[in-house]
């Protein structure tokens, strides 16, 4: 229902959940693995919200409309854990979450996911129009280490 995933879509989040990697995300980026949810430091960063995390179900569901309740509950629980970990370790002053459905809703990856952003006064998160080049693995690692240490 309300699906836009191309027939030949190779899902990067399913690849990551099954142990694979690609040019943007590696197993080293994962900070939390639960029974039905996975959280990792995203490679696409907003300029003033570095180290934001994506939380995904470990099974493929394109969007909120397709998401079964058990997977949704697992993602929500992981989002909460990640938000608390970000708040404790990033020296931010708040956290925002964001989730998109369908092209008109700004969805561009065809696997349900929730963004968890560290927030700072005046960070301009919702008015950012240009994203910089993806963060390198080396740039992501300090955030991964902080989150893993807190979640351990």
Give 42-98 pLDDT, tens digit per residue.
Answer: 999 889 999 999 999 999 999 999 999 999 999 999 999 999 999 999 999 999 999
Q: Residues of the chain with pLDDT > 70: what percent?
A: 100
Question: What is the pLDDT, as a whole number, of residue 26?
Answer: 97
Question: What is the pLDDT, as a whole number, of residue 87?
Answer: 98
Q: Does domain 12-151 have CATH number 3.40.50.300?
A: no
Q: Provide the 3-class DSSP secondary structure of residue 134.
A: coil
Q: Please, are residues 111 and 3 in contact by the beta-carbon 8 Å criterion? A: no
User: Domain extents for the chain?
Assistant: 12-151
Question: What is the pLDDT, as a whole number, of residue 127?
Answer: 87
Question: What is the pLDDT, as a whole number, of residue 98?
Answer: 96
User: In 10 A of CB 95, how many CB atoms?
Assistant: 20
Partners of 33 in beta bridges? 38
Q: Provide the 3-class DSSP secondary structure of residue 86.
A: helix
Q: What span, in angstroms and rounded, lies between the C-alpha atoms of 84 and 62?
A: 26
């Amino acid at each position: 229902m309300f699906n836009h995933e191309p027939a030949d879509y190779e899902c990067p989040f399913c690849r990551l959940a099954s142990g694979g990697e690609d040019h943007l995300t590696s197993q080293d980026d994962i900070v939390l693995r639960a029974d039905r949810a996975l959280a990792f430091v995203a490679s696409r960063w907003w300029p003033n919200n570095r180290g934001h995390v994506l939380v995904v179900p470990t099974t493929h569901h394109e969007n909120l409309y397709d998401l079964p309740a058990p997977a949704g509950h697992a993602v929500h629980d992981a989002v909460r854990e990640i938000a608390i970990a970000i708040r404790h370790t990033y020296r931010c002053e708040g956290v925002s979450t964001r989730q998109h459905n369908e092209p008109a809703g700004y969805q561009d990856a065809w696997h349900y996911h929730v963004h968890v952003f560290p927030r700072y006064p005046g960070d301009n998160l919702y008015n950012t129009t240009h994203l910089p080049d993806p963060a390198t693995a080396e740039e992501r690692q300090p955030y991964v280490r902080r989150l893993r240490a807190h979640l351990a």
